Amino acid sequence: MSLFPHVQFLVSAAQPTQFPADRGAEIAFAGRSNVGKSSAINAILQRHGLARVSRTPGRTRLVNFFDLGGERRIVDLPGYGYAAAPEVERRTWAPLIGALRERASLRGLVLIVDSRRGIRPEDDNLIEWARERGTGMRIHLLLSKSDKLTRSEASKALREAKSQLEGTATVQLFSTLDKTGIEEAQRVLKEWTQRKNPDDLVEIAGAD
Ligand code: GDP
Protein backbone atom coordinates (compact mmCIF):
# COMPACT_ATOMS: atom_id res chain seq x y z
CA MET A 1 0.00 0.00 0.00
CA SER A 2 1.40 3.37 -0.98
CA LEU A 3 2.14 5.83 1.82
CA PHE A 4 0.73 8.60 -0.32
CA PRO A 5 -2.07 7.04 -2.38
CA HIS A 6 -3.65 10.34 -3.38
CA VAL A 7 -0.64 12.02 -4.98
CA GLN A 8 -1.28 14.21 -7.96
CA PHE A 9 0.37 17.05 -9.80
CA LEU A 10 -1.21 20.34 -8.73
CA VAL A 11 0.33 23.33 -10.50
CA SER A 12 3.51 24.71 -12.06
CA ALA A 13 4.09 28.25 -10.87
CA ALA A 14 6.27 30.74 -12.73
CA GLN A 15 5.48 33.39 -10.14
CA PRO A 16 4.19 33.49 -6.57
CA THR A 17 0.67 34.58 -7.61
CA GLN A 18 0.25 31.13 -9.12
CA PHE A 19 1.03 29.31 -5.86
CA PRO A 20 -1.87 27.28 -4.47
CA ALA A 21 -3.83 28.46 -1.40
CA ASP A 22 -1.65 28.62 1.70
CA ARG A 23 -3.43 25.95 3.75
CA GLY A 24 -2.33 22.71 5.37
CA ALA A 25 1.29 21.56 5.26
CA GLU A 26 3.92 21.66 2.57
CA ILE A 27 7.52 20.50 2.25
CA ALA A 28 9.98 22.02 -0.21
CA PHE A 29 12.42 19.82 -2.17
CA ALA A 30 15.54 21.50 -3.49
CA GLY A 31 18.99 20.72 -4.82
CA ARG A 32 21.51 21.45 -7.50
CA SER A 33 20.55 20.56 -11.05
CA ASN A 34 21.14 16.90 -11.85
CA VAL A 35 21.53 15.90 -8.21
CA GLY A 36 18.71 13.35 -8.54
CA LYS A 37 15.84 15.45 -7.15
CA SER A 38 13.16 14.34 -9.63
CA SER A 39 14.18 10.72 -9.19
CA ALA A 40 14.03 11.15 -5.40
CA ILE A 41 10.55 12.68 -5.48
CA ASN A 42 9.29 9.91 -7.75
CA ALA A 43 10.79 7.22 -5.52
CA ILE A 44 9.55 8.72 -2.25
CA LEU A 45 6.04 9.24 -3.59
CA GLN A 46 6.13 5.91 -5.43
CA ARG A 47 4.92 7.54 -8.62
CA HIS A 48 7.08 6.76 -11.58
CA GLY A 49 7.36 9.79 -13.87
CA LEU A 50 5.52 12.21 -11.58
CA ALA A 51 8.37 14.67 -11.30
CA ARG A 52 9.91 14.54 -14.74
CA VAL A 53 13.43 13.16 -14.76
CA SER A 54 14.98 15.68 -17.07
CA ARG A 55 18.12 14.95 -18.99
CA THR A 56 18.82 18.64 -19.53
CA PRO A 57 20.19 20.17 -16.33
CA GLY A 58 18.58 23.43 -15.33
CA ARG A 59 15.79 23.33 -17.86
CA THR A 60 13.00 23.54 -15.37
CA ARG A 61 12.49 27.02 -13.98
CA LEU A 62 9.09 26.49 -12.49
CA VAL A 63 8.03 25.66 -8.97
CA ASN A 64 5.96 22.50 -9.16
CA PHE A 65 3.41 21.69 -6.47
CA PHE A 66 2.26 18.12 -5.89
CA ASP A 67 -0.78 17.33 -3.82
CA LEU A 68 -0.28 14.41 -1.42
CA GLY A 69 -3.92 14.45 -0.40
CA GLY A 70 -5.37 15.99 2.74
CA GLU A 71 -3.98 19.49 2.17
CA ARG A 72 -0.41 18.24 2.17
CA ARG A 73 1.93 19.27 -0.60
CA ILE A 74 5.40 18.84 -1.95
CA VAL A 75 7.00 21.89 -3.52
CA ASP A 76 9.57 20.96 -6.14
CA LEU A 77 11.93 23.94 -6.49
CA PRO A 78 13.95 24.58 -9.66
CA GLY A 79 17.40 23.01 -9.61
CA TYR A 80 20.12 25.57 -8.97
CA GLY A 81 23.80 25.91 -9.74
CA TYR A 82 23.47 25.54 -13.48
CA ALA A 83 26.45 27.58 -14.63
CA ALA A 84 25.16 28.43 -18.12
CA ALA A 85 22.38 30.71 -16.92
CA PRO A 86 23.27 32.26 -13.57
CA GLU A 87 21.58 35.60 -14.20
CA VAL A 88 18.30 34.12 -15.44
CA GLU A 89 18.45 31.78 -12.52
CA ARG A 90 18.93 34.54 -9.99
CA ARG A 91 16.12 36.66 -11.40
CA THR A 92 13.53 33.89 -11.42
CA TRP A 93 14.68 32.08 -8.31
CA ALA A 94 14.87 34.89 -5.76
CA PRO A 95 11.23 36.09 -5.84
CA LEU A 96 9.88 32.55 -5.92
CA ILE A 97 11.87 31.33 -2.99
CA GLY A 98 11.32 34.56 -1.09
CA ALA A 99 7.55 34.19 -1.40
CA LEU A 100 7.66 30.51 -0.55
CA ARG A 101 9.31 31.18 2.79
CA GLU A 102 6.45 33.50 3.75
CA ARG A 103 3.92 30.70 3.48
CA ALA A 104 2.41 29.54 6.76
CA SER A 105 2.03 26.03 5.41
CA LEU A 106 5.75 25.59 4.73
CA ARG A 107 7.02 23.15 7.35
CA GLY A 108 10.30 21.88 6.05
CA LEU A 109 13.02 21.62 3.47
CA VAL A 110 14.31 18.38 2.02
CA LEU A 111 17.65 19.26 0.49
CA ILE A 112 19.24 16.85 -1.93
CA VAL A 113 23.03 16.86 -2.07
CA ASP A 114 25.22 14.57 -4.15
CA SER A 115 26.86 12.15 -1.72
CA ARG A 116 30.08 12.26 -3.74
CA ARG A 117 30.37 16.04 -3.52
CA GLY A 118 28.89 16.90 -0.14
CA ILE A 119 27.39 20.23 0.94
CA ARG A 120 28.47 23.09 -1.32
CA PRO A 121 28.10 26.86 -0.87
CA GLU A 122 24.83 27.00 -2.89
CA ASP A 123 23.40 24.28 -0.67
CA ASP A 124 24.50 26.24 2.38
CA ASN A 125 22.59 29.25 1.09
CA LEU A 126 19.43 27.22 1.03
CA ILE A 127 20.03 25.80 4.49
CA GLU A 128 20.43 29.37 5.68
CA TRP A 129 17.21 30.32 3.87
CA ALA A 130 15.37 27.62 5.80
CA ARG A 131 17.03 28.46 9.11
CA GLU A 132 16.06 32.10 8.79
CA ARG A 133 12.45 31.02 8.64
CA GLY A 134 12.88 30.19 12.32
CA THR A 135 11.54 27.57 14.68
CA GLY A 136 9.14 25.01 13.37
CA MET A 137 11.00 24.78 10.05
CA ARG A 138 12.73 21.42 9.70
CA ILE A 139 15.63 20.59 7.42
CA HIS A 140 16.52 17.12 6.15
CA LEU A 141 19.33 16.22 3.76
CA LEU A 142 19.36 13.33 1.34
CA LEU A 143 22.90 12.38 0.30
CA SER A 144 21.95 11.18 -3.16
CA LYS A 145 23.41 8.55 -5.50
CA SER A 146 24.99 6.77 -2.54
CA ASP A 147 25.15 3.65 -4.75
CA LYS A 148 28.20 5.27 -6.32
CA LEU A 149 30.11 5.12 -3.03
CA THR A 150 31.73 2.21 -1.25
CA ARG A 151 30.43 1.46 2.20
CA SER A 152 33.29 3.31 3.88
CA GLU A 153 33.00 6.30 1.54
CA ALA A 154 29.29 6.43 2.32
CA SER A 155 29.87 6.45 6.09
CA LYS A 156 32.48 9.14 5.64
CA ALA A 157 30.08 11.28 3.56
CA LEU A 158 27.42 10.90 6.23
CA ARG A 159 29.83 11.76 9.02
CA GLU A 160 31.14 14.84 7.24
CA ALA A 161 27.66 16.14 6.42
CA LYS A 162 26.57 15.67 10.04
CA SER A 163 29.56 17.52 11.32
CA GLN A 164 29.02 20.36 8.84
CA LEU A 165 25.33 20.67 9.77
CA GLU A 166 26.12 20.95 13.51
CA GLY A 167 22.73 19.57 14.50
CA THR A 168 20.67 22.06 12.51
CA ALA A 169 19.41 19.38 10.14
CA THR A 170 18.97 15.64 9.91
CA VAL A 171 20.75 13.72 7.17
CA GLN A 172 20.64 10.29 5.54
CA LEU A 173 22.10 8.33 2.65
CA PHE A 174 19.83 7.97 -0.35
CA SER A 175 19.81 6.14 -3.66
CA THR A 176 16.95 5.53 -6.04
CA LEU A 177 19.12 3.02 -7.87
CA ASP A 178 19.62 0.55 -5.01
CA LYS A 179 16.70 1.95 -2.98
CA THR A 180 18.79 3.08 -0.01
CA GLY A 181 16.89 5.28 2.42
CA ILE A 182 13.58 5.55 0.58
CA GLU A 183 11.54 4.39 3.58
CA GLU A 184 13.45 6.67 5.90
CA ALA A 185 12.69 9.66 3.67
CA GLN A 186 9.04 8.65 3.46
CA ARG A 187 8.83 8.55 7.25
CA VAL A 188 10.26 12.07 7.47
CA LEU A 189 7.73 13.38 4.99
CA LYS A 190 4.86 11.65 6.71
CA GLU A 191 5.88 12.95 10.13
CA TRP A 192 6.43 16.53 8.97
CA THR A 193 3.06 16.75 7.28
CA GLN A 194 1.06 15.34 10.18
CA ARG A 195 -1.68 17.48 11.57
CA LYS A 196 -0.55 19.57 14.52
CA ASN A 197 -3.84 19.17 16.36
CA PRO A 198 -7.13 17.40 15.67
CA ASP A 199 -8.88 20.64 14.67
CA ASP A 200 -6.37 21.28 11.89
CA LEU A 201 -7.39 20.41 8.38
CA VAL A 202 -10.86 19.20 9.36
CA GLU A 203 -11.76 19.01 5.70
CA ILE A 204 -9.51 16.02 5.23
CA ALA A 205 -11.28 13.65 7.59
CA GLY A 206 -10.93 10.24 6.02
CA ALA A 207 -7.70 11.00 4.21
CA ASP A 208 -4.79 8.70 4.97
P1 GDP B 1 17.40 16.41 -11.04
O2 GDP B 1 17.95 17.25 -12.14
O3 GDP B 1 18.01 16.78 -9.73
O4 GDP B 1 15.92 16.33 -10.98
O5 GDP B 1 17.97 14.92 -11.27
P6 GDP B 1 17.31 13.68 -12.02
O7 GDP B 1 16.39 12.95 -11.10
O8 GDP B 1 16.79 14.12 -13.35
O9 GDP B 1 18.61 12.75 -12.19
C10 GDP B 1 19.76 13.22 -12.83
C11 GDP B 1 20.58 12.05 -13.30
O12 GDP B 1 21.05 11.28 -12.19
C13 GDP B 1 19.78 11.07 -14.19
O14 GDP B 1 20.63 10.61 -15.21
C15 GDP B 1 19.42 9.96 -13.23
O16 GDP B 1 19.25 8.72 -13.88
C17 GDP B 1 20.61 9.94 -12.30
N18 GDP B 1 20.25 9.45 -10.95
C19 GDP B 1 19.19 9.83 -10.21
N20 GDP B 1 19.16 9.18 -9.03
C21 GDP B 1 20.22 8.35 -9.02
C22 GDP B 1 20.74 7.39 -8.07
O23 GDP B 1 20.21 7.15 -6.97
N24 GDP B 1 21.91 6.75 -8.42
C25 GDP B 1 22.54 6.96 -9.61
N26 GDP B 1 23.66 6.29 -9.83
N27 GDP B 1 22.07 7.84 -10.53
C28 GDP B 1 20.93 8.52 -10.24
pLDDT in tens, 8-53: 999 999 899 999 999 999 999 999 989 999 999 999 999 877 776 5
Name the pTM for this structure: 0.90
Task: Count how many Cα atoms sit within 13 Å of the Cα of residue 16 in the half-sphere of its side chain.
Answer: 12
Give the model's confidence band at 196: pLDDT under 50 very low, under 70 low, under 90 confident, else very high: low
pLDDT in tens, 146-158: 999 999 999 999 9
Identity of residue 197 = N
Cross-strand pairs, 114: 144
Query: Strand 170-173 relative to strand 63-69: parallel, antiparallel, unpaired?
Result: unpaired
Give the model's confidence band at 194: pLDDT under 50 very low, under 70 low, under 90 confident, else very high: confident
**Is there an atom of ligand 1 within 6 Å of 54 CB?**
yes
The mean pLDDT value of the chain amounts to 87
- Is the pLDDT assigned to residue 172 strictly greater than 50? yes
- Shortest CA distance to 189 belongs to which of 72, 77, 42? 72
**Is there an atom of ligand 1 within 6 Å of 38 CB?**
yes
Q: Which atom in ligand 1 lies closest to the alpha carbon of residue 33? A: 2
- Round to whole Å and give the CA distance between 85 and 100: 22
| pLDDT reported for residue 1 | 61
pLDDT in tens, 98-145: 999 999 999 999 999 999 999 999 999 999 999 999 878 999 999 999
- Round to whole Å and give the CA distance between 44 and 153: 24
Q: Is 156 helix (H, G, I), strand (E, B) or coil?
A: helix
- Shortest CA distance to 200 belongs to which of 46, 50, 29, 72? 72
- Is the pLDDT assigned to residue 204 strictly greater than 70? no
Query: Among 39, 89, 113, which is best to mutate for testing ligand 1, by the most ligand atoms less than 8 A from CB?
Result: 39
Domains of the chain by residue range? 8-200
Identity of residue 19 = F
**Is there an atom of ligand 1 within 6 Å of 180 CB?**
no
Q: Is 139 buried (19+), middle (13-18) or exposed (0-12) by CB count in 10 A?
A: buried
* CATH topology for the 8-200 domain: Rossmann fold (3.40.50)
| pLDDT reported for residue 203 | 42
Q: Is 88 helix (H, G, I), strand (E, B) or coil?
A: helix
In the reported structure, the alpha carbon of residue 108 is separated from the centroid of ligand 1 by a whole-number distance in angstroms of 22
